[in-house]
Structure 1
């Protein structure tokens, strides 16, 4: 009797399994097929993306070769096409190179526009910050210090890679417009920044501070001198004594130092920051930038 009951239970169990298989089998099979097809599609998409990035890389470096061969018109046309057709990363790099070409031709305003467009195109934050700083440097003589502050405000946030250079742009603008108090404050913040202690930017800031303090001291001495004594000294010394550093208006921008103190000014020169190994970073920062 026990064997009969056991056989009945087995038959009932089989019937239940068959019913479950008929009900859920197609769904399970469909899910398995979907997973396989999805994995295959993802691999195919990644392959196509890599191929596209390689092609864009070839086009970008071909344009750089044209620049090296002094075929600037052809290079600019190829960079323009890459700007319109490329992924955000290579479109941004193409805009940066077009900006550099415009800087070389002396069209700083158009160069600044190109750098601003590059900052909008990049999704990799370091590249976007670099483009914003270069735009500010290109438009240095056009923009007010408030405009520069607004454009570079986010770039000067802690942990941003080009914040010290952005701070230096603001300090240089304050110096250029004769706001020596603000220039001294900005340069002092750079010189005492722990991240800048071993960098050339700290040395430039310290040289600028020394120069500004000499200028302010000279202006203070002149202001405190009695009017009669000042007039007498001017009339007696005119044409005999060499001009002091504070006698001539100070001229300063990111590419030229103070004409009144050539030795100190040489240390204040701030070259346009060089582009990093952009193509290499684009191929390694996939997760952050969204491209290979």
Structure 2
């Protein structure tokens, strides 16, 4: 009986082995293909990440090199050749830097044109659009009426807006130009009492309050 059982086990094992080999011959290419796809996918992903990193470094180096240029016109020219295609936020950032070069070079018209275009761009992120709108008012304040300046930034001064306090400062300055001292003081006191305001911004607000004859809240 023992010999018979051993013989049966051997036959069963051979049958299993033959069935396994048959399955391998029939479907083994699927396993090989799966391995190739996994290895190939991993290699492609690593190549893609390395390429993206190299491209980001190249663009970063180009922007840094442009910013190190002291002459505003040369800086603007260097920024203009930075390839930002397919990168709307990078394009907006380069636009902001270009506007900075223009204002430093005394070309207010070019500055406002660039900033207004960025503020209206549907492709740039809201954060960069709002920053462009704020910078346009800050740069072009003397050429804009107080009403226009307030209209441009009042949406940026809403609670929770990222540049709320800076927008309030611009509104306060416009109210001063309007001759509305009380409204200006209200805005300035709001800034000086805000714990999230930077020290520089709080100092500017406090100084203006004193110049206008007011007393900072808590003083």
Could you say which TM-score interval applies, normalised by the shorter chain? 0.7 to 0.9
**C-alpha contact (below 8 Å) 2:153/2:167 kept by paired residues:** no
Instruction: Give the 4+ runs in structure 1 shifted more than 6 A.
Output: none
Secondary structure of 1:139's aligned partner? helix
Range that drifts further, 135-144 or 79-88: 79-88
Q: In the TM superposition, what are the counterparts of 1:55-134 in structure 2 within 5 Å? A: 55-66=58-69, 68=70, 70=71, 72-82=72-82, 87-88=87-88, 90-117=90-117, 120=121, 125=127, 130-134=131-135
2:46 corresponds, among 43, 48, 72, to 43
Q: Distance in 2 between matches of 1:190 and 1:30?
A: 65
1:118-167 Cα distance to aligned partner (Å, 9 max, x none): 56576594x665444322312334234122213x257x626x3x442233
- The offset of 1:29, in angstroms, is 1.8
Q: How many residues align?
A: 205
Query: Structure 2 unaligned runs (5+)?
Result: 215-219
Secondary structure of 2:160's aligned partner? coil
Identify, as 1 or 2, the structure richer in helix: 2
Q: In the TM superposition, what are the counterparts of 1:137-176 in structure 2 within 5 Å? A: 137-140=138-141, 141-142=143-144, 143-150=148-155, 152-153=156-157, 157=160, 160=162, 162-176=163-177
- The offset of 1:84, in angstroms, is 5.5
CA RMSD of aligned residues (A): 3.2
Q: In the TM superposition, what are the counterparts of 1:181-220 in structure 2 within 5 Å? A: 181-196=182-197, 199-214=199-214
Q: Distance in 1 between matches of 2:113 and 2:57?
A: 28
Q: Distance in 2 between matches of 1:124 and 1:2?
A: 79
1:32 corresponds, among 35, 43, 47, to 35
1:188-214 Cα distance to aligned partner (Å, 9 max, x none): 221111112x61211222233334455
1:86-142 Cα distance to aligned partner (Å, 9 max, x none): 8445533432232122213443343133234556576594x6654443223123342
Query: Structure 1 unaligned runs (5+)?
Result: 215-292
Q: Distance in 2 between matches of 1:112 and 1:128?
A: 13
